[in-house]
Amino acid sequence: MPRTVRDVVFVDGVRTPFGKAGPKGIYHETRADDLVVKAIRELLRRNPDLDPKKIDEVAIAATTQIGDQGLTLGRTAGILAGLPQSVPGYSIDRMCAGALTAVTAVAGGVAFGAYDVALAGGVEHMGRHPMGEGVDPNPRFVSEKLVDESALFMGMTAENLHDRYPTITKLRADEYAVRSQEKAAKAYADGKIQQDLVPISVRNTNEAAGETGWGLVTTDEPMRPGTTLENLAGLKTPFRTHGRVTAGNAAGLNDGATAAIIASEDFARENNLPVKMRLVSYSFAGVEPEVMGYGPIPATEKALAQAGLTIEDIGLFEINEAFAVQVLAFLEHYGIADDDARVNQYGGAIAFGHPLASSGVRLMTQLARQFEEQPHVRYGLTTMCVGFGMGATVIWENPNFNAEGDSK
């Protein structure tokens, strides 16, 4: 018999504070899978009316699926988190859009009726597993000129995008980066971020003193409040001599995890679960790998067309800041000002960090918080560029929308 597509909702989302990758980072002594476990346990703690036995799936993304990020994370992290052994799980890899893809994958199952409720998220421990660790790209990519060699280096693709948009200067990128830091600092000061963070206990080692102890991580490590244009002006351009991409106008190398509950709206209402966002449409698109930062533009065009909406209908944007130029290219394409108040109201990855496969759910938790505060906004979107030439966009509807307010 024919099936009816069901409404899919974002129930709740959490994340660990994001850390700096490397031996000096907060998570240097912490396993990647333990970060996911903490996120899952926090979701269950915050939503006591969700019976773990009713969870139909656990989808967890990681870009580098080896070591403590391997072994079918969705299944193993679920067991480690204390979910019943009857709850299945699996892993996903779509590089930067891993967690976003985990959400859309389980959302498709919910809409089809295969699931009532599922967990979706992602993790990246770039300190333990740098992007590309252990991979062996086929030499045909370069020898047969299937892609430009720069496609294998994300920073070089950002320089290529600057070439495509000569009006996006290094100064504009730096100005955008400063605003991201300022907005993130303000969001912290206003208590907007902490509500969805999972405190993580970590082991700290002071090699100089020969001491080892434990601490509690409650804030994002990469943030650089007080960043100025003068600070950024003198930074090196590691991907090209006299280039435009620096450590100051790009996200860093980071560690962290996210998790979310995705359900049918009927299931959420029947089980007394919050409904923070309603899924409208989602789309993925491929672009030239050497300008992967362009990806959000065609992905958004597809998602808008599927929803019967235009860019003017979108009242809030959460755009992943892999590089400032990637966000600015999106805004320039759609005629949106660099400092438009609808864009990344709490700041973005340039400030918080971008642990690759986990970041998609961070965008969603921030958008959900903004929806709650702004009932006059009806539609928002989360979008990301993806390594090797892709873009990903999800359009969401605000369940708190007040029809008497602004139709945006």
Answer for the pair 106, 261: CB distance below 8 angstroms, yes or no. Answer: no
Catalytic residue of the set 125, 129, 162, 354? 354
Catalytic-residue membership of 354: yes
pLDDT at site 211: 57
Distance CA 183, CA 313 (A): 24
Q: Which residue has the tokens 């090699």?
A: 207
110's tokens: 């919910």
**β-bridge mates for residue 214, sequence order:** 203
Residues near 48 by beta carbon (within 8 Å), at least 6 away in sequence:
none
Question: What is residue 92's DSSP assignment?
Answer: E
**β-bridge mates for residue 12, sequence order:** 261
Residues near 139 by beta carbon (within 8 Å), at least 6 away in sequence:
none
**pLDDT tens for each residue of 292-338:** 999 999 999 999 999 999 999 999 999 999 999 999 999 999 999 99
Length of the chain as a residue count: 408
pLDDT at site 2: 63
Catalytic-residue membership of 96: yes
- Residue 407: pLDDT band (50, 70, 90) is very low
Catalytic-residue membership of 129: no
pTM of the shown model? 0.95
Answer for the pair 135, 280: CB distance below 8 angstroms, yes or no. Answer: no
**Kind plus residue range of the DSSP H or E element containing 302:** helix 296-307
**pLDDT tens for each residue of 196-218:** 999 999 987 655 545 578 899 99
Distance CA 378, CA 170 (A): 34
Distance CA 245, CA 238 (A): 8
Catalytic residue of the set 96, 125, 129, 162? 96
Helices (H) and strands (E) in the chain, counts: 12, 12
**pLDDT tens for each residue of 356-395:** 999 999 999 999 999 999 999 999 999 999 999 999 999 9
